[in-house]
Every structure is written in structure tokens, then in C-alpha cells.
Amino acid sequence: MFASILINTNAKELNRVFDYVVPKEYENVISIGARVFVPFGKGKNLSEGYVVDLMDSSEFANKEIASIEDSILTEDNVELAKLMAQKYFCNVADCIKLMLPPGASKKDLDKRVKEKTARFVYLNKEKDEIRFDIDNNIKSDKHKKLLEFLLENDGFDVTDLEVITDVSKGIMKTLEKNGYIKFVYEKVNRNPFAHKNIDRDSKLELNDEQQSVYDQIEFMIENEEFAEFLLKGITGSGKTEVYLQVIEKALSMEKRAMVLVPEISLTPQIVDRFLARFGDCVAVLHSKLSDGERFDEWNKIKNGEAKIIIGARSAIFAPIENLGIIIIDEEHDNSYKSDMTPRYNAKDIARFIAKKNNIPLILGSATPDICDYYKALNHDKELVELTKRANNASLPNIEIVDMRQELAVGNRSMFSLKLQEKLAENLKNKMQTILFINRRGFSTFVMCRDCGYVVKCPNCNIALTYHSFGNMLKCHYCGHEQPVLKICPECGSSKIKYFGTGTQKVESEISKLFPEASTIRMDIDTVSKKNSHENILNKFKNENIDILIGTQMIVKGHHFPNVTLVGVIAADGTLNIGDYRAEERTFQTITQVAGRAGRGEQKGDVIVQTYNPDNYAIVCSKNQDYEKFYDGEIMLRKRLNYPPFCDIILIRVNGENLENVKRVSAKLYEKLLKERNENLLIYKPVASPIDKIQNTYRWRIIIKGKLNRKAIYTINSAIGKLKKVKDINIIVDTNPSNMM
């Protein structure tokens, strides 16, 4: 018997499989996914690897597997990794790494994260005997105190015991020597919820809409059938309650559940609701955990202790067996698409796993991804809807303010008069306000301040991006370029502006206008520390801070009963990001932000400031009219051939030498055309919008077409035919979350 082994290494050129002979005595124990040690290369040391194939013959195998350790991966894992490697144009090893325990890619075994143990103190004699001795033989008060405590609390952590009883470890040693107590090392869980104390709640009685959604999903769970549901429900319509109850159903069948949420909304609020309903059989996986915490959570999942896993994108690879349901909340969020190798989309992986396990997959959102909604309407998924707020809270009142008018009446501040007035009123009433700005659009697009005209590409209908080098406007898609404008072609004004506003600027303007108001800021700069995201939100809530100023990360599922005003400073921020999803992102963002207002008793107000009050994304968000927005958007996508009508395949060519980057890009383009795949529309190579990052030049080729087997072949074949050029890195990314 022979085995194909993937060597666990970071060295790029080794990311392929090597064949080994399976020794006779291992033939019955070896399986696909097993972790092995093999002789590799010149060194004496054995290398770690994973079995990805077993076969009866091999032309290449000449060395034997040295040892078989354990089975970390399953056969399904390996199958998935192989599929991913094809679909996402990367190595199997890159995909396998996502499925290994935290820290497993560290070369040095001793440096890997391990279980944490602590010393516990136990009584070492019968309780009656100890009671007798306390009364008759033991003189020292400290000795008595410690033993009395242990009679009630046998098995206590040494350090905690020392703090609680005020008896030193030295004294405990004496008691150990006298045979009264013993020290035992035990595994402890580094519990990310250790600081929590949550009251349990019980399930709510579902309303009719919820019940109907629940019944359809329950049917699939009971019948053990795959189905993909798109749960479209306005904010506050009770989607989470439905999730909780279908999970309960899965648990009642001795199955387990996986819940994905966007990284930045993996806030305590959402986790708390699961803890309150299900107690501590919940495990969480996200990037803010310490290595130790992640390791323990992973093991809790692997050994079956955890029944419900809540995590961000990569949690989809957690080693969970016997799944009964997968839920992806805020499914439109672009954090489900990885922008690092492997460039996978967690929704695709979830679909694969759900099919394999014959279980339902639920995608939930108030503003579904246009592509998913299109598929649902075309019966590629089951559409289920919740149309009313579950606790009868009313939807906020949304008002669009035309910033061109503000300028016309002489208001040059970044706050409209309407917003200033509402802010003053809110401060007077001691209610809270959220000011949202969108940093993604930072200073890249060019707009006329008098009429709102934005310069767009004639071929692609996408805002041109300003490049300070050469003072040019460029299209990210087709390479069209033109000089910057001095005069607006629509209205003749010379008030052309390069757009961008930051949270700090908003904060300083507020302190000028309302010196008495307290403010707190939340953006990338302020939330980098562990838990600071949570701390800022708690502070805002508990200390009743007047104004929270923030970027994207404030828009997700928080509940602030005292927030009655939300101001969107520049709604145009996402409108002109040079991406075909600009309108979609704008609509989603405004709808999500608006959902933060008036969640309590009071009705909320939302002021949306824009220079494009007639843009359909903004108009539709005023009425929270998803269907109308969808109708407009899908027509445009069809006309211009964007997803869901095709895939956008982006091939990046990166390198430190600009001439090489250009030359390889041109060669690649040539090779791609030579493949003669008529189903692909291949654009000529252009510089990326951000064309140099950390001294690396970035060029790219955009391909429109369906990413099917033939397309994968075409692209791989073209890349394969390129002569290797040192330092040039070629990356293929399909439907990337970020076009920059």
C-alpha cells in the first residue's frame, strides 16, 4: 500500500504531495487525513505530514512512513481541501491549514499551544476522619480553616484557594506532608466567557410568520435533507429567535449547530443570547481569542463538548461532527469572502458541508446579497420572509438631506442644518445619537459639489478613481483614463471636490459645535485591542455618552434603547468606491444603520446626508424598500453583465519590479487569449486602483464569465504556460470582496 503525503511546511515549492510506502503493520490503521511523520529531504529530522490519498501502486514511492500519530482530519476534510484548491486556484496545503488545530502549522512542536493544566487541592482522607482531627488533634487555626473550607469545597484551584482562605501555599505543603490533602494537576479550559454571568431565558412563542419559517426548516431537519433557505427579515423581525429554535430542534435530535456571523458583529450581545438559551455548550471562534482560548475552544468542538459553534468566516472549518444545521447571519456581509489565500467564500463551503451532511443551510439578512436574492427568486434557494418587527417597535423615520442645498444656503459644515437641529434637540432630551461615516470612500472619487455629478467610466458605469500620480482619473475595470476635470460637464461649476471624511474630523467638528456633548469614537484605530470593541459599546450604553461616532463597525446588530437619532454623514462614501456593488453596499449600509435607531420605546429619526439624493440606492433606503432597490439593481447588472449573470475573475500580477509586472501581465493576457475560451470576456491588463502597496506594484486582468471547469482549466493552463519570473506573484480571486 502507498500513501500520498502532504508535507506540513510553509515553503511554497513543497506544497505538493509526495508518495511513501505504507509499512505492513500500518496498513490497517492508516486512513486519509491521518497525521504522519516521514523522512523528507536531506536532514535527519522527520517531517510532519497528512495523508491525502491511499493507493495500491506508486511509481515514485521509495521511502517508508516512519510513524502514524493520530487522525486530525477527516476524509471529508481532505475532499473539501482538494475541491477548494481547484476552485480557488491555490494549493491543497493552504486549504488543509484552515482545518488544523490552532497553531498546528508551527514547525517547532514544543512551541505549539497545548492544553493548560492547573494544580487543584483535594482532601486525602475520609471526611469523618478529618472532622475528628479538626476537633481533637489539629492545633493551628490556619490548618483548621483550610480543611474546613475543603470539607465544603473539595477540589479547588491552589491559587484561588490561597486568595479565598488566606492560607499560604507553604502551609498547604505541610498539610500535604501530614497526609490531609493532595495536589492534583488537571486540565482547565481557558474560557472566553469566564467574566460572564448570564441569566438563562426560555423560548418565546413564535408569531405566525416566524412559525411558518420555522416549520419549513424543521421539516428539513427532521427529514435529514439538504435545503438552502434565504431568510429575508427586516431588522428586529425575530430572525435570531428563529435561529435559536431551529438549533434547539437540531439539538433534540442529538445533532449540533454551526452559526456564522460577520467578524465585527461577533459581539457579546449575540453570543449572550445563545449562552442565555443554551448555557455553556456554546463554543466561539474568532480572531480576538488568545491562542490558548482558541486551542481550548477548538478541542471543545473536536471532542463533542460543544454543541453549538458561533464563529466568524473560518469557523466553517471547525472539526464539528454530526451537524444538524448551519446558519449564516447577515449573509450579505463581505467578510464571508476571504481576501487571503485561499480566497474562499464561506457560503460556498457551508453549502458543500450542508449537502454532505444532508442538513439545511440558512442564510439570513435584512438586505440579502443581490446574487442570493436573485437565486432565491429563481428557485435556486427557498425564500422565507419575516416582514414585521417582532416586538412591535416601529421602524424609524428616515429623512434624506440634499447636501448641495446646504452649500447653496451657505452652510459649509459637514453637518446639515437639519442634523444640527436634531442633534441639539436630542442632547436637550438626554437621548443618545450615533453618527456614522464611511471611510471606505476615502478621498478617491471626484464629485461636483454644486450638482452632485460624479465622473464615471463611459464603458462600465463605475466611478473613476483619482490617481494623484499624473493627475488622472482612471477606471478600475477596463483601463479607461482621462485627465481630471476643472469644470463640471453637467452644470459648469468649478466646485469640484475630492471626497473623504474621517471619524476624527467629525469628532473635532462636534466638539466645536456642541462643546458640552460627550463623545466616543469607534473605528479601526480605537478597537484594535482585545475586547475594546465591547468596552466602547458598553461605555456608550452604560455611561450614557451623548454621541457615538464610528465607521462600519457600529452598524451591526447592537441594541441601544436610548438611541433615537442616527446621522449618516456622507452616504455617498460607498456610492463611489469603484466597485459594481457600490449601490448595493450603500443600500445595505443605510438600512443597517437606520436599524440602530428607535429600538426601544421611542421612535427613532435617521438623517441621511448625501450629494446624490436621487440615486436609487438612497431613494429606496429612505423607504426601506428592498424589492424596489433589487428591481433597479438587477436590471443594471443584467445590462452591464455583472454577477449574478457572470463571475468576476480577477487575476492579480504583483511584483517589486514594475517592468516585470507589466511584461508578465501582457504575456499572461496573450496566453489567456490564445486559449480561445469564447465564454470568457478578458479585459486587457491595467494597474490596480491602488497600484503600489509596500513597494509592490499591482497590475491585474479582469475576466467576466462563469467560473466553470472549462474556465478553471483555461486560467490554469495560461498561467502554467508563463515562464517563471522571480518575485512575480500571480493570484486569482473570484468575485473578490474588494476590487482595489
Q: For binding to ligand ADP (CB under 6 A), which residues are involved?
A: 204-207, 210, 233, 235-241, 390-391
Smallest distance from the beta carbon of 241 to ligand ADP, in angstroms?
4
Question: Which option in Zn ion, ligand ADP, none does residue 204 bind, with CB closer than 5 to 8 A by kind?
Answer: ligand ADP
Nearer to Zn ion, 54 or 485 (CB): 485
Nearer to ligand ADP, 247 or 718 (CB): 247
Question: Which option in ligand ADP, Zn ion, none does residue 457 bind, with CB closer than 5 to 8 A by kind?
Answer: Zn ion
Instruction: Give the sign of the dihedral formed by CA 656, CA 659, CA 662, CA 668.
Output: negative
694-731 residues labelled b (16+ CB within 10 A) or e (exposed) = eeebbbbbbbbbebeeebbebbeebeeeeeebeebebb
Bridge partners, residue 35, by sequence:
50
301 contacts 315 by C-beta, under 8 angstroms: no
Residue 542: CB atoms within 10 A of its CB come to 8
| Interface segment toward Zn ion; rule CB under 5 A; list 119-127, 197-205, 269-277, 479-487 | 479-487
Residue 711 DSSP SS3: helix
List Cβ neighbours of 504 (8 Å cut-off, separation of 6 or more).
Answer: 521
Nearer to Zn ion, 18 or 477 (CB): 477
Map residues 124-143 to x or -, x wherever contact with Zn ion holds by CB under 5 A. --------------------
Nearer to ligand ADP, 362 or 460 (CB): 362
Q: What angle do CA 643, 648, 650 make, to 5 degrees?
A: 160
CA dihedral 412, 413, 417, 418 (to 10 degrees): 130
Near Zn ion by CB under 5 A: residue from 130, 398, 431, 488: 488
Q: What angle do CA 564, 568, 572 make, to 5 degrees?
A: 160
Question: Which option in Zn ion, ligand ADP, none does residue 663 bind, with CB closer than 5 to 8 A by kind?
Answer: none
Question: Which option in Zn ion, ligand ADP, none does residue 598 bind, with CB closer than 5 to 8 A by kind?
Answer: none
Map residues 489-508 to x or -, x wherever contact with Zn ion holds by CB under 5 A. -xx-x---------------
Q: Which backbone phi and psi does 375 adopt, to 5 degrees?
A: -65, -35
Does 413 contact Zn ion by CB under 5 A?
no
Question: Which option in Zn ion, ligand ADP, none does residue 383 bind, with CB closer than 5 to 8 A by kind?
Answer: none
| Interface segment toward Zn ion; rule CB under 5 A; list 214-222, 339-347, 456-464, 670-678 | 456-464
Does 457 contact Zn ion by CB under 5 A?
yes
Which stretches within 452-542 are classed as H helix?
503-513, 532-542
| Interface segment toward Zn ion; rule CB under 5 A; list 329-337, 474-482, 501-509, 718-726 | 474-482
Q: What is the DSSP letter of 650?
A: E
| Interface segment toward Zn ion; rule CB under 5 A; list 89-97, 110-118, 246-254, 485-493 | 485-493
d(CA 706, CA 142): 76
Alpha-carbon Rg for the chain, nearest whole angstrom, is 30
Which stretches within 11-154 are classed as H helix?
75-87, 92-97, 127-136, 141-152
Helix 709-720, helix 658-674: angle, nearest 10: 130
Residue 81: CB atoms within 10 A of its CB come to 26
CA dihedral 234, 237, 240, 244 (to 10 degrees): -140
Nearer to Zn ion, 314 or 465 (CB): 465
Nearer to Zn ion, 333 or 450 (CB): 450
Distances in whole angstroms, Cα of residue 492 to Cα of each of 397, 449, 485: 35, 11, 11
Overall residue count recorded for the chain in this entry: 740
Nearer to Zn ion, 366 or 448 (CB): 448
Does 682 contact Zn ion by CB under 5 A?
no
Cα within 13 Å of Cα(58), Cβ side: 19
Smallest distance from the beta carbon of 218 to ligand ADP, in angstroms?
16
Bridge partners, residue 651, by sequence:
701, 732
Q: For residue 418, give the C-alpha cell.
A: 437639519
Does 580 contact Zn ion by CB under 5 A?
no
Smallest distance from the beta carbon of 245 to ligand ADP, in angstroms?
9
d(CA 352, CA 81): 11
Nearer to ligand ADP, 311 or 644 (CB): 311
Question: Which option in ligand ADP, Zn ion, none does residue 237 bind, with CB closer than 5 to 8 A by kind?
Answer: ligand ADP
For residue 465, what is the enclosing H or E element? strand 465-467
Smallest distance from the beta carbon of 448 to Zn ion, in angstroms?
3
d(CA 580, CA 643): 9
Does 213 contact Zn ion by CB under 5 A?
no
Smallest distance from the beta carbon of 369 to Zn ion, in angstroms?
24
| Interface segment toward Zn ion; rule CB under 5 A; list 319-327, 448-456, 546-554, 600-608 | 448-456
Question: Which option in ligand ADP, Zn ion, none does residue 488 bind, with CB closer than 5 to 8 A by kind?
Answer: Zn ion
Question: Which option in Zn ion, ligand ADP, none does residue 564 bind, with CB closer than 5 to 8 A by kind?
Answer: none
Does 570 contact Zn ion by CB under 5 A?
no
Does 322 contact Zn ion by CB under 5 A?
no
Counting residues that bind Zn ion (by CB under 5 A) gives: 15
Q: Of 630, 615, 620, 591, nearest to 396 (Cα)?
A: 591
Does 54 contact Zn ion by CB under 5 A?
no
d(CA 312, CA 289): 12
Question: Which option in Zn ion, ligand ADP, none does residue 206 bind, with CB closer than 5 to 8 A by kind?
Answer: ligand ADP
Question: Which option in ligand ADP, Zn ion, none does residue 239 bind, with CB closer than 5 to 8 A by kind?
Answer: ligand ADP
d(CA 597, CA 566): 6
Does 450 contact Zn ion by CB under 5 A?
yes
Smallest distance from the beta carbon of 239 to ligand ADP, in angstroms?
3
Q: For residue 413, give the C-alpha cell.
A: 459644515
222 contacts 191 by C-beta, under 8 angstroms: no
Nearer to ligand ADP, 236 or 368 (CB): 236
Q: Is the peptide bond between 268 and the residue preceding it cis, with omega within 30 degrees of 0?
A: no
Does 642 contact Zn ion by CB under 5 A?
no
Question: Which option in ligand ADP, Zn ion, none does residue 391 bind, with CB closer than 5 to 8 A by kind?
Answer: ligand ADP
Question: Which option in Zn ion, ligand ADP, none does residue 63 bind, with CB closer than 5 to 8 A by kind?
Answer: none
Question: Which option in ligand ADP, Zn ion, none does residue 448 bind, with CB closer than 5 to 8 A by kind?
Answer: Zn ion
Question: Which option in Zn ion, ligand ADP, none does residue 459 bind, with CB closer than 5 to 8 A by kind?
Answer: Zn ion
Residue 691 DSSP SS3: strand
Q: Which residues bind Zn ion (CB under 5 A)?
A: 448, 450-451, 453, 457, 459-460, 475, 477-478, 480, 488, 490-491, 493
